[in-house]
Structure 1
Amino acid sequence: MTRIILLCFFTIFLGCQPKPATTTKPHNEVLVLGTIHSGHLTDSVYNVAYLDKLIKTIKPDYILAEIPPNRMQAAMDGFKKDDSISEPRVLRFPEYVDVVFPLTKEMDFEIIATAGWTRMMADERNKKLGAIRDNPDRADDWKAYTLANQKTDSLYKATNKVNDPYFIHTQAYDDIQDIGLQMYNKLFNDELGLGGWENINIAHYWNIEKALQKHRYEGKRFLIIYGAGHKGWFLRELRKRDDIDLLEMKPFLDQVE
């Protein structure tokens, strides 16, 4: 009887004790910046000066770049040597040459190379696309691909917001781009192998995931910078994660304006 009374007492006593506080792990913040590559050199608004201000406003701790990991060291070594980029894969992207690398002198962020591309993959893709284009038996496929791209272009131009950074960072922009990209993916992804649309995005995102996993729960801010066509694909995958806070670009664009 005494044992039963004691058990009841301890049950009541323990139930009254304050529960230990649960530790909340700090989420990383993630933004996806869609770029227009060489268009930044000529656009009157969405130019390299605009990108410079935008990245300063975002204040990232890490920039996940559309640079192959095996080309990153050569690019950084060249920049440290004489403030210029000569690495061919990086040289084609003014967002890195004219903005991100120079900003390393003013800001404290780490560039993590995450592109899945290799020169061999790019050459193989171009070779296969050329063969498809020139094959009379694939004329219907090529026509469907061309028409889908034309539809994307016409819808984009009809918005009167071409290269508008606000519009580029909307779901409407991603939906328009998907018209051409999904047709391209449906017709050619498997045939193009590693250079197919779905396949290359998987390769890019695998590297992005590795970086997010490595720095998980640090409470840091990640800025993913890729060509704007990739943005919708990445966002669909990032929304599946429950360990990050995916931020909208608009509030930062507002600060640049």
Structure 2
Amino acid sequence: MLRGGRNCTDATQCVNMRCQASGTSEVKKCVGRQEKESCSSHEDCDAGLFCDRSLEFPFKSSCKSFRTSYEQCTETEECQHNFYCWYADINDSPIFGEDSQKKCLPLYSQPLGTRFGWDQVDMSKSPTFEDFEHNGKNCKSGLAFFNSSFNGSQCTENLRMMQGDNLLSPDNNYLCNASDNENPCRIYYTEFNQSFEVPCKCSLEGGSKGYCASIIGTQQYALALAVIKQMLEKSSCHTLDRHSYEAQLDCNEEPSVLQLATERKFQIDHWELMHNSILTEGPGGQ
């Protein structure tokens, strides 16, 4: 079923059973519930709105316009598409107690060294790749780490990548030895040799040729995020469709930016395949 903002030809395709054209446009779109109308979930509301669920009696919930920059929030779906719901200040984090508070933060916007709140799935364990990535959504580089000197996030960058004792070169697209099971790729993000691992993935060209599975924190990664952010700024999709590139085809105002963002997203998500000559040039490298 299609949510508000998606192209449709018949009401039965839509979550809210409403398919109609607006203004002078002949294109029909699914329409959700409007601002101030009651709702039980985000899906009920139209594009550009979220379901504001009251936690107080009589627990009345209604569709509401997106929250904007640094407004308090509980989840990303409440924020404009180019924002995410996270801890703006170090002391806002649940690390400092139960009175944690999230706000809508602009995606991929903060320079190196910026400090803000940190959280991770399991604070009793070392941060996972996903923890570095999710906290890093506040940073231009896409990468943040937990700085124990102040118990918060700090925007950083990918200083170097290594496999064992071998320094991996950006000139070779972080080529690595996929047959070396003892040594994955290691991303260093501080001058104190703090690092985390990502797999060396096979390029599917045969032999031991592989590439590091992620280039998070590199200049190439940051450039891709800048395009993705631009695409989200031009999106008029439903809040639950913000990361659906199929949905964006129906409700993004800049098709050329969407196309470029789609290419860049695939590039950073499947880095090991982007340098496979069979896939990129065809059989025989033609």
Q: Which has the higher contact order (CA 8 A, sep 6+)?
A: 1
Computing the radius of gyration from Cα coordinates, the structure with the larger value is: 1
Fold conserved between structures, TM > 0.5:
no
TM-score, normalised to structure 1, is 0.23
Instruction: Report the structure, 1 or 2, having the larger strand content.
Output: 2
TM-score, normalised to structure 2, is 0.21
Instruction: Report the structure, 1 or 2, having the larger helix content.
Output: 1
